């Protein structure tokens, strides 16, 4: 409040000032959860006000959208550029459907007596596909193929057909490679970008002594929890947006079958990402508490950065080894990337994913306890870099 002197008798009038508002001064906080959420809101607001963060996030999403859009146009253009005659497709069908199938251009029809004979021709490779009558009233035509069916046949029918593949193709090595690339790059990029942001904010607060003001209102553990929660919300939000854009891009390109195949693993990937990022966020915060200058942060955070990059490097290098991928699916530092890939290619199921996630949760909890000790013992210490052993034990950090 301000003081104003009135008249010759020097009366003092105390004028109350309005309390400041906003995420930074949303005080006092009652309870651990409220205090942690206050810190999280402050950190998120500061990050969202950063033009570099907003611009980089928007640019990444736009680049993804443009790449899928270009791929869609290129595929459509490739179909339109065909100037030669359509290749003849050999089809099997029953006599009652000869008129329907005969209306499709550039097809050679082989008549069979029943469904079993048609499937036998497809299995032997004598025809590319078989068109069968609906199984019941109001049903859809069925197209039976070996590993795929000609897309021209699907589009030529007046109703959407039911497609049955005798030998559904597994993902090829190139598709597996691109999955490893996509999962690994997103995990590494988000981990490094937001982890470095959390560590930098921690060092800046120490360097400017703001942390001393904050710790007068909230406990150190709530400060650490708030930073982890705020960074995790932003990182997971960015990741969900990227996954959503990828789903939209696959829909644009007519990859509905691949989209169905990836839906469950994608959600598992988000779950693994959340736990993995919380684990790394706690270590980045602890690394920031060990130093008092931005110049010293690189050496303190380098081991954590290598761990964040490890899933991408190892999965890309060992992607062709089923044994190595199985082992990495249960190692906490590589599981967030390896396990979703194993689920996509059918080499892991829900039970295996749950076991891997529990192992990751336990590791994250242990690392979080260690990071809490480091942060509480080091965040008020200024000067030279604090040794890790001192920070864990609390000796020499008072």
Beta-bridge partner residues of 165: 145
Pair 376, 318 in one domain: yes
Residue 195 lies in a domain: yes
Pair 62, 93 in one domain: no
Interacting residues of 68 by C-beta distance below 8 A, sequence separation 6+: 245, 246, 248, 249, 250, 252, 253
Residue 231 lies in a domain: yes
Pair 205, 271 in one domain: yes
Residue 77 lies in a domain: no
Residue 327 lies in a domain: yes
Q: Which of 165, 197, 217 is the last residue of a domain?
A: 165
pTM for the model:
0.63
Residue 20 lies in a domain: no
Residue 247 lies in a domain: yes
Pair 251, 355 in one domain: yes
What confidence score (pLDDT) does residue 357 get?
93
Domain of residue 243, residue span:
32-67+171-393
Pair 284, 149 in one domain: no
Q: Which of 165, 198, 218 is the last residue of a domain?
A: 165
What confidence score (pLDDT) does residue 27 get?
44
Pair 250, 388 in one domain: yes
Residue 245 lies in a domain: yes
Pair 197, 345 in one domain: yes
Residue 187 lies in a domain: yes
Pair 242, 296 in one domain: yes
What confidence score (pLDDT) does residue 354 get?
93
What confidence score (pLDDT) does residue 253 get?
62
CA distance 158 to 171: 30
Total domains in the fold of the chain = 2
Pair 290, 197 in one domain: yes
Pair 365, 270 in one domain: yes
Pair 179, 123 in one domain: no
Assign residue 129 the CATH number of its domain: 3.40.190
Pair 248, 122 in one domain: no
What confidence score (pLDDT) does residue 374 get?
86
What confidence score (pLDDT) does residue 395 get?
64
Q: Which of 165, 196, 227 is the last residue of a domain?
A: 165
- Show pLDDT as tens, one digit a residue, over the chain (398 residues): 454 544 554 444 444 444 444 443 444 445 778 888 888 888 888 888 878 778 888 887 887 777 767 655 654 434 434 444 557 777 778 877 777 776 676 778 788 888 888 888 888 888 888 888 776 666 677 888 877 777 677 666 667 777 777 776 555 555 666 777 777 888 888 888 888 888 888 888 888 887 777 777 778 888 888 888 888 888 888 888 887 777 777 666 666 556 666 667 778 888 898 898 888 888 888 888 888 788 878 888 888 888 888 888 888 888 778 888 889 999 998 888 888 888 877 778 889 999 999 999 999 999 888 888 888 888 777 777 778 777 777 665 54
């Amino acid at each position: 409040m301000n003081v104003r002197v009135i008249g010759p008798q020097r009366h003092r009038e105390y004028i109350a000032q309005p309390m400041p508002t906003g995420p930074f001064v949303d005080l006092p906080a009652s309870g651990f959860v409220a205090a942690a959420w206050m810190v999280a809101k402050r950190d998120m607001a500061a990050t969202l006000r950063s033009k570099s963060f907003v611009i980089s996030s928007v640019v990444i999403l736009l680049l993804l959208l443009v790449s899928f859009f270009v791929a869609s146009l290129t595929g459509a253009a490739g179909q339109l550029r065909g100037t030669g005659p359509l290749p003849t497709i050999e089809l099997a069908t029953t006599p009652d459907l000869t008129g329907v199938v005969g209306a499709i251009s550039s097809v050679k029809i082989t008549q069979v007596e029943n469904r079993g004979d048609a499937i036998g021709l497809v299995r032997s490779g004598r025809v590319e596909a078989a068109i069968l009558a609906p199984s019941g009233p109001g049903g859809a035509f069925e197209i039976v193929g070996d590993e795929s069916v000609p897309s021209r046949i699907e589009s030529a029918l007046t109703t959407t057909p039911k497609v049955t593949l005798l030998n559904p193709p597994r993902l090829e090595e190139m598709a597996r490679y691109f999955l490893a690339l996509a999962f690994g790059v997103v995990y590494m990029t988000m981990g490094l970008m937001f982890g470095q942001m959390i560590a930098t904010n921690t060092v800046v607060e120490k360097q400017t002594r703001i942390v001393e003001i904050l710790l007068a209102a909230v406990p150190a553990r709530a400060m650490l929890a708030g930073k982890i929660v705020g960074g995790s919300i932003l990182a997971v939000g960015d990741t969900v947006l990227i996954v959503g854009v990828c789903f939209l891009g696959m829909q644009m390109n007519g990859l509905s079958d691949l989209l169905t195949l990836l839906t469950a693993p994608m959600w598992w990937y988000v779950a693994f990402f959340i736990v993995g990022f919380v684990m790394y966020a706690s270590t980045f915060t602890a690394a920031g508490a060990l130093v008092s200058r931005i110049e010293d942060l690189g050496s303190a955070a380098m081991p954590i950065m290598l761990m964040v990059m490890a899933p991408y490097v190892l999965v890309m290098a060992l992607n062709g080894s089923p044994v190595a991928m199985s082992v990495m699916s249960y190692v906490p530092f590589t599981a967030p990337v390896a396990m979703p890939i194993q689920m996509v290619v059918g080499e892991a199921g829900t039970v295996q994913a749950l076991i891997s996630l529990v192992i990751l949760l336990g590791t994250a909890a242990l690392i979080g306890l260690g990071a809490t000790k480091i942060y509480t013992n080091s965040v008020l210490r200024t000067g030279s870099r604090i040794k890790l052993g001192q920070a864990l034990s609390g000796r020499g950090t008072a």
